[in-house]
Amino acid sequence: MDRVFRSPRLAALLSVSWLAAILAGCAGETVRQPPPPRLVSPAVPAPQPVEPPKLVEPARPLPVKVALLLPLSGNDANLGRAMLEAAQMALFDIGEDTLTLLPRDTAGGAGAAAGNALEEGAALVLGPVYSADVQAVAPLARAKQVNVIAFSTDRGVAGNGVYLISSTPEEQVQRVMGYAASQGLKRFAVIAPDNAYGSTVIGAAKSAASRLEAIDPAVATYAPNQSSAEALQQALKRLVRGPEPSFDALLIADGGARLKTIAAQLGSANIDPQRIRLLGTALWGGDPDLGREPALVGAWVAGPPPDTLAAFADRFSRLYGRAPPRLAGLAYDAVALAAVLAKAPEGQRFKSEQILNPSGFAGYEGVFRFQRDGVGERALAVLQVEPRGANVVAAAPQSFQAPGN
């Protein structure tokens, strides 16, 4: 069943560049009442009360329709529903009756879901989540001259009207390796699954090493469905080509149970985490138990600013009684961005010139902007894993100093 959500006016919690000025301009005006009559001599008739002028409120423009494409049924229904709930949070916070959300389920086909919303008049598409779904949606939106802000991390689907609001693996690798190099580490190694994600991380690590004038990283891969300790130990041993490792930082491109298994096998592969700094990507994010694995304590991970992300997680948990999944914050930021862009005059809203604002925008996931190739750029922090959480060792920038390429 199609659902439509309209937003009542509530207090804005999202801080967006230049949004405060917009909201300040919307403050209501105070109507001044005429002063009370003065006392005069009986020979002078007392002035009659003056009726204050009546204010005629200008007609509000109709809310702008925005499609929200999410997996609301099937295997990923929990993720999709949580992202929809986060989107509703943003709508209540700063939608201010400017948006009408058109949530559509991509489980039965992202193209059909997008086509339905576009026929209903969607002026912007938010989502979908997966790169294959973005590829199905993009030509339909393009035919209607409607831009897409997708949640995919695949740079290959960006461009020509498609913008990625997610942090890509490439920028995560650049950020964490760049910080490691600034601390004197220049010899890197990578262990990654033998799949598209692993190839992306390996390529990004090689590019980052080149820019940092570091040695080309040693690389080992393993079958993406492989989780046995023995197989992962063998992959680690392929990185050590002598009595001691030839690297001083190891990037592990995995998360969850496999990350912890790899960490537990480091000693067996003659890799001492007290001497070799471990590095991670966003796949490490959202796991509060990382610090319980001793080998991971002290590791550096690139990710969103933890303070704003924690504030979002706290609000979500209080509203819905459970912790949000990793992508929920992006859904909030996407709807909040749409609400800001919708304030532009008709004919200008949601255009590429708006979306490509070089100053960027600020959300729960940190400061972000879009580059001309459609790829998102995010200001990431570097966190250090500790036994009871993570500490920021390099804060995320609060603004962008110059336009992206």
Determine the 3-state secondary structure of 191 from DSSP.
strand
| Residue that wins the pLDDT comparison between 9 and 246 | 246
Is the omega angle on the peptide bond into residue 37 within 30 degrees of 0, that is, cis? no
Can you tell me the distance from the alpha carbon of 150 to that of 171, in angstroms, rounded to the nearest whole number?
17
User: Which band of pLDDT confidence, cut at 50, 70 and 90, is reported for residue 51?
Assistant: low
Looking at residue 301, the DSSP 8-state letter turns out to be E
User: Which band of pLDDT confidence, cut at 50, 70 and 90, is reported for residue 8?
Assistant: very low
| Residue that wins the pLDDT comparison between 2 and 200 | 200
Q: What is the pLDDT of residue 32?
A: 39
Q: What is the pLDDT of residue 25?
A: 37
Q: What is the pLDDT of residue 322?
A: 95
Quick check: 123 pLDDT over 60? yes
- Lookup result for tokens 């790829």: 375
Quick check: 5 pLDDT over 80? no
Residues 24-44: what's their mean pLDDT? 39
| Residue that wins the pLDDT comparison between 241 and 186 | 186
Can you tell me the distance from the alpha carbon of 18 to that of 76, in angstroms, rounded to the nearest whole number?
36
| 153 touches 164 (CB < 8 A) | yes
Q: What is the pLDDT of residue 214?
A: 94
Q: What is the pLDDT of residue 96?
A: 67
Can you tell me the distance from the alpha carbon of 63 to that of 121, in angstroms, rounded to the nearest whole number?
11
Q: What is the pLDDT of residue 1?
A: 45
CATH for 169-303+381-394 is 3.40.50.2300
Q: Per-residue DSSP letters for 79-115?
A: HHHHHHHHHHHHHHHH-TT-EEEEEEE-TT-HHHHHH
| Residue that wins the pLDDT comparison between 405 and 400 | 400
Q: What stretch of H or E contains 169?
A: helix 169-182
Give the rounded percent of residues in the chain with a pLDDT score beyond 70. 83
Pick from 25-29, 125-129, 149-153, 238-242: least confident: 25-29
Q: What are the pLDDT digits (tens) for 68-95? A: 999 999 999 999 999 999 999 999 998 7
User: Which band of pLDDT confidence, cut at 50, 70 and 90, is reported for residue 135?
Assistant: very high
Q: What is the pLDDT of residue 275?
A: 95
Q: What is the pLDDT of residue 54?
A: 53
| Residue that wins the pLDDT comparison between 90 and 46 | 90
Q: What are the pLDDT digits (tens) for 153-212? A: 999 999 999 999 999 999 999 999 999 999 999 999 999 999 999 999 999 999 999 999
User: Which band of pLDDT confidence, cut at 50, 70 and 90, is reported for residue 21?
Assistant: very low
Task: Quote the tokens at residue 97.
Answer: 């009756």
Q: What stretch of H or E contains 366?
A: strand 366-370
Cα→Cα distances 74→29, 83, 127, 128, Å: 50, 15, 17, 15
CATH for 60-166+307-374 is 3.40.50.2300
- Indicate if 169-303+381-394 has the same CATH topology as 60-166+307-374: yes
Residues 228-236: what's their mean pLDDT? 94
Quick check: 41 pLDDT over 90? no
Q: What is the pLDDT of residue 97?
A: 80
Looking at residue 396, the DSSP 8-state letter turns out to be P
| Residue that wins the pLDDT comparison between 105 and 95 | 105
What is the value of pTM for the model shown? 0.81
Q: What is the pLDDT of residue 325?
A: 92
Q: What is the pLDDT of residue 285?
A: 81
Pick from 27-31, 51-55, 378-382: least confident: 27-31
Is the sign of the CA dihedral 94, 110, 256, 384 positive or negative?
negative
Cβ count within 10 A of residue 273: 18
Q: What is the pLDDT of residue 56?
A: 52
Quick check: 4 pLDDT over 90? no
Domain ranges across the chain: 60-166+307-374, 169-303+381-394
Can you tell me the distance from the alpha carbon of 147 to that of 67, in angstroms, rounded to the nearest whole number?
11
Residues 138-160: what's their mean pLDDT? 97
Quick check: 47 pLDDT over 60? no
Pick from 230-234, 282-286, 325-329: least confident: 282-286
User: Which band of pLDDT confidence, cut at 50, 70 and 90, is reported for residue 11?
Assistant: very low
